[in-house]
Structures are given as C-alpha cells and as structure tokens.
Structure 1
Amino acid sequence: MARTLRRLADENLLIVQVWLVSRLLFAIIAVTLAVAGRRPLESVLAQWDVGHFLKIAREGYADPDEMAFFPGLPLLLRGFTELGLPAVLFGTILALACSLAAAFALKRIAGAWGAIAWILAPTAVFTAVPYTEAPFCAAAFWAWERASQRRWGQAALLTALACALRVSGLFLIGALAILAITQGRNPSRRRGVRDGGLGARLAWLVLPTAVLVAYVTYLYGLTGSWTAWFAAQEAGWDRGFHWPWEAIANHWEVVQRPTPDHPEWVWLFRAELVSWVVGVVVTLVALFRKRVAEAAWVGVQVLAFSLSYWLMSVNRAVLLWFPLWRQVGEFVESRPDTTGWRVVGVLAGLVALAVQGVWAWLYFTGRWSS
C-alpha cells in the first residue's frame, strides 16, 4: 500500500513538474516578445480567437459572424471585466489552471505518461491562453472519467459545461451515449455506485443536450434562423459543406503551394494533414481494441473536419482526442524500463518542448497557427 501511494505521489509530482516547465517556456517566450517589441503583455497573449471572445464579452453577438463561437468563455471573460479584473490576464490564469485539471483527469484515463504526452503536445500553447481548449478539455476529460466510473450525474454536469464552451460538446454527448450503451443495460452493482441502468444513463444526457438547444434557440431569437451557427461558420471561416474528397483535394493543392509572404503557412497546412491522418489512425486503433465510444469521439471529429473546404483547426483538435493520449500512454507503459528507453524518452521530451516553443512563437507573434 505504501509503495503504491509513493508511486502515485511520484507520478503526480512528475506531471506537475512537466506542466510547470512547459508553461514556463510559454511565459518566457511571451514576455521576451512583449519586452523586445515594447508591447503590453496582453497584446501578445490576445491573438486570433481571443479577440472574438473579448468582442462577444463586450458587445454580445452584435456581429453575426461571432455566432460561430459559443458563449461559455465570453461570459467568463465578461465576468472578470465586471469585477474590474483584466480579462486577458485572468483568462490566461483560467486556461493554465484548467490545463492542469485536464492533465489530472487524463491521468485517470490514460495513465501518467498519457497525461505528460498531452502536456507536451505541439499545440499546447492554446491551453495556456484565453482559448476554449483548456476549459473544454478539463470539463470533457473529467466528464469521461466520471462516466467511465458510472457517475453519470457528475458526468452530465461536466458535459453541460463543455457544451457551453464549443460545438465539440455535441460530439461528446454522442460518444457518451455510446459509452452508456456499451456499459450494459443493467444498473451498476459496484459498491457506492447507483447509475440506474441504461435508461437513467441516457436520461442524464438530456441536461447537456438542453444547453446546446438553448444556444441554438437563443441564436434563432436574434436572427430568425435555426442555422445561424452554420451560417456564421461559412461566412467567417469558409466552412461550408464539401465532400471529404473535395476537402482533401483542396488541402493537397495548398500544401504544394508555398506562400512567400508567410513561409510558415505551408508547414502548418501540412501539419493539419498529418493531424487528420493521426485522427484516422487513432479511430481505427480504438475500433480494433473494441473501444467503440472512444473511436466515435475521435472519428466523428475527423469526419466533421473532412466536410469543410479544406482541413482547418485539426492541429488544435488533437488536444481534445484523449484516446490518442491513452494510446500513447499505453505504448510508453509497454516499453521495458531500460536505460536506452529512458534516454529515448528524455530526447522525445526535449524535442516536444522545442516544437512547443516554435508553435508558441508563431501564436504570440500573430502568425497563423491553426
């Protein structure tokens, strides 16, 4: 027992240490750029979608294009502002705290090494700034962990929170419904757990579904259209419907055509394609291992990205794919604990930090970073 507790404490400490090193790297890059450019730190942190969240927090959905963003994070940022607090700074603190919470949820799902791999993900900078990735991952990962333990009431509340943050909550509801079915029709007989059986588990999912319905209804009240969210996606981000083969063809054309003014763009588009392939592989591996709900969680997102003009924001979506990090964690756990593998692990960690640093630099300098 004492040995087990010591091992758990060591794993928790390692997760916190890796998280601190990674976030310290982001802080050093952001502060250096702010000092070198004689700019406020907030202007370095508040790139791209942060501007949309701040605008919604100030003005609501006055601009129809802003309806592509769910209201959860803007409401939190507005709350900070109402309290007289700098929204960008406290939004960053929120993201940092949520990223650590998500890592510990992922430890329960994917093991310590899965959580560490997620912390070191290439696009982890988006979990350290006022984006929805960190709070969504915290809510979604804990929701999955609670549902896996048949704590469906807790899972429903966390899923409802996730649904207020981004449309990915819809996919989470679907994956949880499959998890509820695959857990069996009978109530749990585990000590201290009463989930009421299949009907009760599915009934709990009405709560997060109501959050999505409420947002769609709210947009209908503003615009008179039940498809206002889709219209905003198409108008602002060119995400109208295309067949997957059209999306792949359009994307392939872009990765073959570098942009002289923005040489980093072609590499980011290539990374989008790699991330999409990773999603396909993770889905197939999950199916092979008979983890149908996990396969559905990743697979439906891969499909959704395949229905736009090209593949966009897949690099960031990788952060949401806890089955990927579970598979990575299982791979690491299956390796022999030898000096050679430890060296490989350390080198992999250093490379991951270097890639994170490059991606953070792209974000903080205002370059397109997915």
Structure 2
Amino acid sequence: MIFKIFAFWRIGLFLVTFLGSLALPKIDNGGFGSIGPSRQYNYWLSLAQWDGGHYFQIAKDGYIFISDYAFFPLYPALINLAKILFLDNLMITGLVASNVAFLLFLLIFFEMVKKKYSREVAISTIATFVTFPTTFFAVSYYSESLFLLLTVITFYFLSSKKFLLAALATSLANLTRLVGAALIVAVFYSYFSSFQMSLKAINRKIILAIPALFGLVIYSLYLFSKLNDPFKYLTSQTFWQRSISDPISTITSYIWATLVGEARPFNDYFDLFLTLSFLIILIAGVKKISSSLWIFSMLVILIPASTGTLTSMPRYLLSSLGVFIIVGSYLTLWPRLKIALWAISLAVQAILATRFITGYWVA
C-alpha cells in the first residue's frame, strides 16, 4: 500500500513540476538551482533551489563560509559517502538519498501508527502527510527526509522502550537538523516516565539515554576546534536574518501585523496560518498521541519560532508528526472531509512545488 501511495504521488509530482518547468517563466534568485546569466535552466538542478544549493556546496567543498555552519553536516556527509555508487555525481546521489529516505520514513511511520491505532488511521495519516503542501521538500535536495526518517525511527524504538537505539537515532538526527534537540527532550522524557522515579533507578539506567546527546556534542566540539565557537550553528543564524526571540512574541507580531493591515508578502500570511493551525490541532488533540510525541511535535514548532521569524515554517512543520496523526485519526470519522482536504492540499502542493522549481521562494 505505501509503495503504491509513494509511487503514485512521486510520479504525479514529477509530471506536474516537469511540465510546469516547461510552461512557466523562471526567475534568477542568485542560487545554485536557478537560471542566471551564465546558467541554463536544468530541471534536476532546480530541485536544489535555495537551501539545497548550500547542501550541495557543502557536500562538494565542505564548510567554506561562516553562514554554512547553520546547515548541519550529516546530510551532505551521507551524500559524500554514497557518491561512489553514482559515479561521483553529487546531484543524483543527493536526490536518490532524499527519495529513499522519504520512502523508508513512510514505511516506518505507517507501521508505527498502525501498531498503536489501526490500519485505517495509518493510511489516513500517510495520505495527509503526502498531500501536505510542502511535502515535496522531502524529495528535493534538502535534509528534510533524512531528519524525518531518523525522527520516526526514534519514536518507533521509544514505543518499544528500546531507549539505547532511540538515543542513537536521536544522536544522528542532531547531526542533521537543529530541531533535533527536540528529540533529546522527547527521549529523556520517555525514559524518565518509563519507570517509577528513584535516584537508584536513574543511576542504573541513565546510560541508555545519554547517547542522545552525542550528535550535538560532536558537532559542537568540531565547531570549537575549528572556529573556537561550539555554538556557531546558533550564532550563524544571523546571516539568515534570524535572531533569538521568544516564540510568543514572534507569533503575536505576525498576528498584529495582520490585524492592523500591514502590507506583507503572501508567504507571511501562509506561514502564520499553518503555524497557528498546527498549534491549535496539537492543543486540541493532546490526548490523541503519546506525551513524548506531543512534546516533540510542539517543540519543533516553537524552536523555529524562537528565531524572530516564521519564514520556512511550512517546511519545518513537516517534522511535527503528532499533528499528522491527530488529523489522520479525525479524518477517519469524516470520509467526505478527508477527500476534500487532501484534494485542496494536493492542489496547493502542486502550485508551491512548481513555484519552487522555477526559482520562487516557498519555505
């Protein structure tokens, strides 16, 4: 079933974006995947727009610019390791890695949801995820699919109380994305809530959860040895117009700007709408999912919102897996609503994906 869903969706996405690239005008955004004075349009390169170009450059040349350190190393490192399988072609390697990782994510996510809920809820959840407006990023030259795979592996092991394996998957996730820190919280919460609290039990078993910290520690030590700044992945965020703030202030500033009619790009309204929607769904469905997954799903919203902007939030929300499970479970109760929701969401995805490959900023 999952193979069929993935194949149908992936072929459809390719046809829509490829035909769109032939029919629609492209813009020069100055990036690796766009057209330019000395660059002809290439469909496959267009899948590495914006952040994808930085991942490609890191995979090819390593970390050169200070701003690059905001991009965590596991995805480009994996591309470098696997490139020998594809005649050292970094572009093909990255795209294959993203697509394979996303398929594996869907398979494990389906099994995890089916095990806890039902096959019907699992299918509904997967369909909701695949049709989400920004899911195309999971098969682009981005680290999204790798992070999703490591995240669902973590929760799959947590559901079986295999804390050491969950911690190791978390460690790898922390080498993939900054929001991997949210997984550390989820692992330790799940660990401490799994037995009757006592200092003796903690001392005896804490070693099972400690490896969750390894990934972030390794990257921090690398940055300290090279730049004398173990938190360069945070300080380099300023190069991307991000600064430390509290999520409430960030969200309320967007709401206020909307209420007073301040002129803003359409993307800002879209970012705010999806962010608020996810927060409301999580709060309303708090009893539908495990506490550890709820905490993680909330943190992967609040952490990006703590940078003073909601830019890219529609893409970051892909990691809030609990929301998709909540929506998927509710949609099994309303068959007509789910068809309408999936159709509308898929149509928006087609529009956004086509804009993305023609050079426009989406998320």
TM-score (ref. length: structure 2): 0.83
On the 8 A contact 1:139/1:159 being kept in 2, the answer is yes
On the 8 A contact 2:274/2:314 being kept in 1, the answer is yes
Indicate the SS of the match to 2:11: helix
CA apart distance, 1:63? 0.6
Q: Which residue of 2 aligns with 1:3?
A: none
Distance of 2:83 and 2:262 partners within structure 1? 43
Q: Which residue of 1 aligns with 2:208?
A: 204
Q: Among all aligned residue pairs of Structure 1 and Structure 2, give the percentage whose two residues are the same amino acid.
A: 20
CA apart distance, 1:362? 1.8
On the 8 A contact 1:103/1:116 being kept in 2, the answer is no
Relative to structure 1, is the Cα distance of residues 346 and 61 closer, same or farther in structure 2, using a 3 angstrom cutoff? same
CA apart distance, 1:348? 3.0
Indicate the SS of the match to 2:44: helix
Indicate the SS of the match to 1:41: coil
Distance of 1:101 and 1:204 partners within structure 2? 25
- For the pair 1:22 / 2:15, whether they are aligned, the reply is no
CA apart distance, 1:325? 1.3
On the 8 A contact 2:46/2:358 being kept in 1, the answer is yes
Matched to 2:101, the amino acid is: C
CA apart distance, 1:202? 3.9
Q: Which residue of 2 aligns with 1:326?
A: 325
Distance of 1:202 and 1:272 partners within structure 2? 39
- For the pair 1:143 / 2:146, whether they are aligned, the reply is no
Q: Which residue, out of 152, 157, 174, partners 2:168?
A: 157
Distance of 1:85 and 1:258 partners within structure 2? 47
Which runs of structure 2 are paired with 1:113-192 in the superposition (5 Å)? 113-185=124-196
TM-score (ref. length: structure 1): 0.82
Distance of 2:346 and 2:9 partners within structure 1? 7
Summarize deviations over 1:82-132 as a string: whole Å, max 9, x none.
553322222112211211211122223332211221111111011111211
Q: Which residue of 1 aligns with 2:18?
A: 31
CA RMSD of aligned residues (A): 2.6
Summarize deviations over 1:41-77 as a string: whole Å, max 9, x none.
2222111111111111122222110000100011122
Q: After alignment, is 309-318 or 289-298 more displaced?
A: 289-298
- For the pair 1:98 / 2:112, whether they are aligned, the reply is no
Relative to structure 1, is the Cα distance of residues 362 and 342 closer, same or farther in structure 2, using a 3 angstrom cutoff? same
Relative to structure 1, is the Cα distance of residues 279 and 237 closer, same or farther in structure 2, using a 3 angstrom cutoff? same
Q: Which residue, out of 75, 90, 95, partners 1:73?
A: 75
On the 8 A contact 1:52/1:66 being kept in 2, the answer is yes
On the 8 A contact 1:143/1:156 being kept in 2, the answer is yes
Q: Which residue, out of 86, 90, 94, partners 2:89?
A: 86
Relative to structure 1, is the Cα distance of residues 29 and 287 closer, same or farther in structure 2, using a 3 angstrom cutoff? closer
On the 8 A contact 2:151/2:183 being kept in 1, the answer is yes
Indicate the SS of the match to 1:65: helix
- For the pair 1:224 / 2:224, whether they are aligned, the reply is no
On the 8 A contact 1:176/1:293 being kept in 2, the answer is yes
Relative to structure 1, is the Cα distance of residues 244 and 146 closer, same or farther in structure 2, using a 3 angstrom cutoff? closer
- For the pair 1:52 / 2:54, whether they are aligned, the reply is yes
On the 8 A contact 1:80/1:86 being kept in 2, the answer is no
Q: Which residue of 1 aligns with 2:119?
A: none
On the 8 A contact 2:250/2:306 being kept in 1, the answer is yes
On the 8 A contact 2:83/2:93 being kept in 1, the answer is no
* Uncovered stretches (5+) of structure 1, i.e. residues with no partner: 1-12, 187-196, 260-265, 336-340
Q: Which residue of 2 aligns with 1:5?
A: none
Q: Which residue of 2 aligns with 1:356?
A: 349
Q: Which residue of 2 aligns with 1:190?
A: none
Distance of 1:138 and 1:51 partners within structure 2? 22
Distance of 1:305 and 1:57 partners within structure 2? 24
Relative to structure 1, is the Cα distance of residues 212 and 269 closer, same or farther in structure 2, using a 3 angstrom cutoff? same
